[in-house]
């Protein structure tokens, strides 16, 4: 069976990264994640990420610059892989269209965040990305 790829965006602005608060499923509601979603058949990962951010954050897909991969892949189950990318928004203000809230956090704040379990796997890579310019 082919693996389903789910892409996540580490939207970095200066020394902060954008987090989104889950509304569902119940066991993850209230926890924080990097925004993103499933790659559709025939869609590239970068195109999927731009589309998902447009849907979830209300930013124009053309204002989303998807950069390099961030960290390692995370296996969600036997057939689903979670993959993160560094992202920069060149215009637009993100709003929580599909989440309870959004927040910008610094590297120092990352460990205290109540993460969805899978996204916690990227803490070291996120910390490195946020402190690289310091």
CATH code (residue 9) = 3.90.79.10
Q: What angle do CA 20, 26, 29 make, to 5 degrees?
A: 20
Is 109 in a helix, a strand, or coil? helix
Per-residue pLDDT band at 3 (split at 50, 70, 90): confident
Report the alpha-carbon angle 80-2-121, nearest 5: 20
Residue 37, strand partner residues: 7
pLDDT tens track for 43-62:
999 999 999 999 999 999 99
Question: pLDDT digits over 77-132, tens only?
Answer: 999 999 999 999 999 899 999 999 999 999 999 999 999 999 999 999 999 999 98
Question: Which residues, other chains included, contact 15 with Cβ-Cβ below 8 Å and sequence gap of 6+?
Answer: 106, 107, 130, 131, 133, 134
Counted domains in the chain: 1
Say yes or no to pLDDT of 133 above 80.
Answer: no
What's the confidence (pLDDT) of residue 125? 97
Which of the four pLDDT bands, split at 50, 70 and 90, describes residue 29? very high
pLDDT at 1: 58
Strands 4-13 and 80-89 turn out to be parallel
Q: Residue 111 is encoded by which pair of tokens?
A: 């460990």
Q: What tokens does 44 get?
A: 């590239």
Task: Give the range of the structural domain holding residue 83, as residue numbers without chain letter.
Answer: 4-132
């Amino acid at each position: 069976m082919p693996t389903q790829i789910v892409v996540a965006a580490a939207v970095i602005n200066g020394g902060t990264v954008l987090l989104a608060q889950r509304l569902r499923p119940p066991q993850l509601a209230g926890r924080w994640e990097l925004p993103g979603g499933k790659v559709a058949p025939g869609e590239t990962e970068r195109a999927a990420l731009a589309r998902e951010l447009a849907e979830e954050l209300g930013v124009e897909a053309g204002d989303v610059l998807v950069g390099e991969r961030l960290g390692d892949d995370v296996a969600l189950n036997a057939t689903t892989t979670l993959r993160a990318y560094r992202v920069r928004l060149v215009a637009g203000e993100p709003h929580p269209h599909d989440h309870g809230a959004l927040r910008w956090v610094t590297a120092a704040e990352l460990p205290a965040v109540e993460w969805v379990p899978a996204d916690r796997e990227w803490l070291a890579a996120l910390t490195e990305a946020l402190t690289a310019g310091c």
